[in-house]
Amino acid sequence: MNSPALRTRELSRRFGRFVAVDRVSIEVAQGEIFGFLGANGAGKTTMIRMLCGLLRPSGGEARVAGLDVYKESEAIKRRIGYMSQRFSLYEDLSVAENLEFFGGVYGLDRAHRRRRQEEICAEFGLEAHLGALAGAVPLGFRQRLALACALLHQPPILFLDEPTSGVDPQARRSFWGLIQREAQRGAAVLVTTHFMEEAEYCHRVSIMAAGKLVALGAPGELKAQHAQPTMQGVFISLLKPEAVP
């Protein structure tokens, strides 16, 4: 059996007395799209930042790509792709210059970098925007550029923190098509979202509330378990005050 892409056991993070992530245990396979759902402040981004090696946990265990988040955080950063909640590229550089820069950051040699840029621009439909400043292209294409930069080094694990926030529904569907293709190639994709309809695109979803994991399973399983026709209904039923542990 293949080793999981990542595994956590009672992973926690506190900020003073505030518990942002409370003993969360999950396991994600290669080729799986795994969703973190929850309202703002539920702990989704904190969870992602710990798994990316950007934030040290307060307790529990976690291994990402076989590496310990406490002892090997720098090695983890080289094995993953990360797209942050906010557009984090250089808006005063062109689309092509951003791709060139991040290819260098990931240590790709010039020939490999150029080849990957051509491949990913063709796949993501960025060719017509290569000369434009990243800050000037439409938001949907900025999101595509951010994902393209995260994928230049072909990481086995991809973390996407609310990647479709602020884009229109058509752009969201197109973006999810790109995500699904990466999973089909074997990448594990962890994505946070507060759009309940996006849960339907995930193989499995976890629903977080007040830092706790309150549900975990495939969308169809969760809808059947909670007798709801949509994930929105599941989410609402779980976040009733009496339903949150």
What is the C-alpha to C-alpha distance for residues 107 and 81, in angstroms, rounded to an integer? Answer: 13
Of residues 16, 6, 18, 19, the one with CA closest to residue 48: 6
pLDDT at 65 over 50: yes
Residue 170's pLDDT is 79
Residues belonging to the chain: 245
Distances (CA, A) of 233 to 177, 209, 210, 213, 220: 24, 15, 19, 17, 12
- Computed on alpha carbons and rounded to an integer, the radius of gyration of the chain in Å comes to 18
Q: Residue 215: which pLDDT band, with cuts at 50, 70 and 90?
A: very high
Query: CB-hemisphere CA count at 13 Å for 172?
Result: 17
Q: What residue ranges define each of the domains in the chain, with the CATH number in brackets?
A: 6-88+156-243 (3.40.50.300)
Residue 139's pLDDT is 83
Q: Residue 86: which pLDDT band, with cuts at 50, 70 and 90?
A: low
What is the C-alpha to C-alpha distance for residues 69 and 238, in angstroms, rounded to an integer? Answer: 30
**DSSP E strand boundaries for 78-166:** 80-83, 157-161
Tokens coding 4: 């999981």
pLDDT at 214 over 50: yes
What is the reported pTM? Answer: 0.89
Residue 244's pLDDT is 46
**DSSP E strand boundaries for 54-176:** 59-64, 67-68, 80-83, 157-161
What is the average per-residue pLDDT within 235-239? 87
Of residues 137, 154, 167, 45, the one with CA closest to residue 102: 154
Residue 87's pLDDT is 60
Total Cβ atoms within 10 A of residue 1: 4
